[in-house]
Chain A
Amino acid sequence: MLQSDLYRGDPILEAIASDEIGPDGRRVRISRTQNNTHDVVEKIQTGLLYWDSNALPQFGPDGDYGSETAGAVLRFKRQYLQEPEPVYDDVGPKTVNALDLICLAQQPGPTPPPPTTYVRRDVWVLQPDATWHPHLLAYARAVRAMKQRDLSDPTSWDFQAAIHGTYSAPPPGTPTNSWHSCQHGCGFFLPWHRLYLYYFERIVRAEVIRAGGPADFALPYWNYEGGGTTAQLPWPFRLETLDDGSPNPLFVPPPGRRNSVNTGFPIIEPGEPNPPSSDIAMNYSTFVPGFGGWDIRVNHDGRSGTMYGVESSPHNPIHGRIGGSLAGALMTDPDRAALDPIFWLHHANIDRLWNRWLVNHANPANAVWGGQQFYFHDEARTLQTPAVSMTNDSAKDLGYVYDDQTEITPRTEMLMEAEAQPPELIGSTEVDLSLLGDPASINIEIPEVVRADFVERLVSASRVFLVAEDIRAPRNTGLDYGLSIVLPDMANLGETRTYPVGSISLFGIEQSNNPENQQGVPGMRHTFDITGIIQGLIEVGEGLALANLPEIEVVVAPSGLELLDEAERDIFNFSNYGVTIGQVSLYVG
């Protein structure tokens, strides 16, 4: 039985939907020769116009099944229904049922019932080996279908990827706010990507259902910190064919994705000194500056901001480790990353971490944050402008949870007013640090005038930051750079110890280099909170040792070298890459 108000109960449409045989012995259809001037034609035309407002440019919904309407039906069948040839220009059951759903999505009326709560599951639990799980198979087939759609179609693969970032111009008529608009280096990183995934998932699910797949489909997530084999690329993305032997759309060969990753090399090695990790971000008590980023500011290219929180790690390094450094790598470049089907599972994991953080913490209640709107198309190709406030509760507002989700009572709290004084500089390196293939170190100078009350400032500071800025490189090397500081050892007084602080990823460096970008701060900036390290030292009485330090050694070491493919090693003459850190500074706030 048809569902929309427009179609439900119409005898001709119901007969077509049920594929009935009419009194004349023919199957009930709408075509140039059958039911072609009945008022049901206008209903079909209305459905087509909901699908594409330009479907009937000349005659509109005139109730006549002429060549224009027939042509629109033909196009609908090819593009939306993906019908294999030969395709006929009549209206049959599939067309009626599909248009019925489209009309249903458009109809106003009483508040619809709450959405079914979808559960996003761990991909390694869904499919622990090479045997295809129905959800992953459905995802693969949906990706294939989306890849066959034209760029001008907002539900196409290329359009969806371009919402994040692209080198292409938008199709005519595309709202600029819905194109090349990902948020990075700011407090909108998390909510923008939550909404991005939400609408993408709806588009994928619509295709899954259309193709007869599981109606409870939800995007899986990839928890690469889960231990064991979970740091390996999940099986559905490593297999080159589907269960029917056709090419697997989830598989991306080099140079799009590293061969080492495709063959199952773990992207996080056990025992790495400075691995991509959510540990630091999960311990932040505030959203900004903290888990969600440094500040609240709309920022696409992320250069005038700073990388902080969960974006800094594990989000950024995972991108580079999967994509690699060859020209054409997808995940390495923000303007191509969403073309790799693993992108969505990576971001589902980042989104899951946000829900875990919310178990004990709060999102901002500030109107500036909650009221910010972003632009996405839904499965009916309708432009939506959701506000960030919709992202506070994924279950209530967006209808999904994660399979490991502890009960959350999402709450918000007002962000503190910006501090009267921004963090104060108390020490800095004096020359550039050039990075090649080996660890390198440089000293943060603590000038004499500061050293006199250095400890007093550290003791009274609520936070201490290490900021690496003016980070320059011609391109993303696909490596990340672990940052450590050498300070007195808390456990062995009199000795020194190297404390890991975090890692620097070059994800987004190409945008930093582009002089066409606004607010073009040269290079990137990464900020690390080292309050815990400093306070720990002061608590064990090492304040005096700190005060006597004329300088603080900073060590930077490339990580992820084991992931380099042979092709990368061949061309990866480190001196050609010229990664430079202009300055590492110490701030107290």
Chain B
Amino acid sequence: MVLIAVAWIFLIEGHGVTTNRGADMVHKHGLTASPVVVAATHLPTGPLPAMWAWLAMSVAMMLPLALPGMRYVGLSSLRVRRLRSMTVFLLAYLLGWMVFGVVVLLVGQVLPEEGRGYVFPVALLVAAAWQLTGWKRRALLSCHRIRTIRISGWRADRSCGAFGLVTFRRCLISCWPLMTMMAIVSLPIGWMVALSALMIAEESVPTRRLYRMGSALLILLGAVWVLLGAV
């Protein structure tokens, strides 16, 4: 929880986070690059600050989704290696997101500047549609699945790491449109909070059609709002 709080503080005070009028700025002032892309392309130190920023975003937004898994790993481990087991799980989980971030960063590099302004609303539309797919539903269902955790030696580390990677994969399938968007586009902090809350809530509520339709509608309304702001 401390890590998550630190990450949010970093995001709020850190690179290129816009105000609540960010969507407007995105369109009118052509500020279309995310902190990641800005840092990567404009800072003299190169990609490292970009990856720090992406790591902060992953910790802030995606780590909460892995907390139940981390708790399970802790309870399934011997007391003496509980911290190590949870750390291995966490590192594997975040490693997955870092690799994803590198891939998206590279993709973002080849996007023309003038096109980046459309990434935000298009990604929201894709995310809204994704909410209603069977893949999303099955990914949400699998979020509650666990794996056997071994208790000692290399088997224990392997099982914790494997569970971390599997958890990342499930989260990726569930949330890839929103996370792709956030890697490329600079979002106001309010949007980031709202989208984080949506992702946490949909893991907690039953995966019934009504809830998924409701969340899809919310995201769709967000896309419309952004587009209207652009008109």
Q: Tell me the A residues contacting B by CB distance below 8 Å.
A: 304, 422, 424-428, 430, 445, 447, 449-450, 469-470, 515-522, 582-583, 585
Q: Tell me the B residues contacting A by CB distance below 8 Å.
A: 75-80, 138, 141-142, 144-148, 150-153, 155, 206-207
Closest residue of B by beta carbon distance from A582: B148
CA distance A582 to B141 in the complex (A): 21
Which residues of A lie under 8 Å from residue B80 when comparing CB positions? Answer: 447, 449-450
Q: Are A430 and B75 in contact (CB under 8 A)?
A: no
Q: Are B144 and A518 in contact (CB under 8 A)?
A: yes
Min CB–CB distance A295 → chain B (angstroms): 14
CA distance A450 to B78 in the complex (A): 8
Min CB–CB distance B129 → chain A (angstroms): 21
11 A-B residue pairings within 8 Å (CB atoms): A426-B78, A428-B150, A430-B150, A430-B153, A445-B151, A449-B78, A515-B138, A515-B141, A517-B141, A519-B144, A521-B144
Which residues of B lie under 8 Å from residue A430 when comparing CB positions? Answer: 150-153, 155
Which residues of A lie under 8 Å from residue B78 when comparing CB positions? Answer: 425-426, 447, 449-450
CA distance A515 to B150 in the complex (A): 23
Which residues of A lie under 8 Å from residue B153 when comparing CB positions? Answer: 430
Min CB–CB distance A535 → chain B (angstroms): 22
Min CB–CB distance A151 → chain B (angstroms): 24
- A518 touching B141 in the complex, CB below 8 Å, given contacts A425-B75, A445-B152: yes
Give 9 A-B pairs besides A445-B152, A519-B144, A583-B150 with Cβ atoms closer than 8 angstroms. Answer: A424-B79, A425-B75, A425-B78, A428-B150, A430-B155, A515-B138, A516-B141, A520-B141, A522-B147
Which residues of A lie under 8 Å from residue B207 when comparing CB positions? Answer: 518
Which residues of A lie under 8 Å from residue B144 when comparing CB positions? Answer: 304, 518-521
Which residues of A lie under 8 Å from residue B77 when comparing CB positions? Answer: 425
Q: Is the interface of B mostly helix, strand, loop or mixed?
A: loop
Min CB–CB distance A419 → chain B (angstroms): 12
Closest residue of A by beta carbon distance from B206: A518
Which residues of B lie under 8 Å from residue A425 when comparing CB positions? Answer: 75-79, 151
Min CB–CB distance B70 → chain A (angstroms): 15
CA distance A445 to B155 in the complex (A): 13
Q: Are A521 and B146 in contact (CB under 8 A)?
A: yes
Q: Are A470 and B148 in contact (CB under 8 A)?
A: yes
Min CB–CB distance B167 → chain A (angstroms): 14
CA distance A585 to B156 in the complex (A): 14
- A447 touching B151 in the complex, CB below 8 Å, given contacts A515-B142, A516-B141: yes
- A428 touching B151 in the complex, CB below 8 Å, given contacts A447-B78, A517-B141: yes
Closest residue of A by beta carbon distance from B75: A422
Could you say which of B145, B151, B152, B207 has the most chain A C-beta atoms within 10 Å of its C-beta?
B151
Min CB–CB distance A181 → chain B (angstroms): 14
Closest residue of B by beta carbon distance from A427: B151
Which residues of B lie under 8 Å from residue A518 when comparing CB positions? Answer: 141, 144, 206-207
Min CB–CB distance B77 → chain A (angstroms): 7
- What are the nearest 5 A-B pairs in CB distance? A582-B148, A428-B151, A470-B148, A519-B144, A449-B80
Min CB–CB distance B81 → chain A (angstroms): 8
Which residues of B lie under 8 Å from residue A449 when comparing CB positions? Answer: 78, 80
Closest residue of B by beta carbon distance from A457: B79
Min CB–CB distance B133 → chain A (angstroms): 15
Which residues of A lie under 8 Å from residue B141 when comparing CB positions? Answer: 515-518, 520
Which residues of A lie under 8 Å from residue B145 when comparing CB positions? Answer: 520-522
CA distance A422 to B75 in the complex (A): 8
Min CB–CB distance A579 → chain B (angstroms): 15
Min CB–CB distance B208 → chain A (angstroms): 9
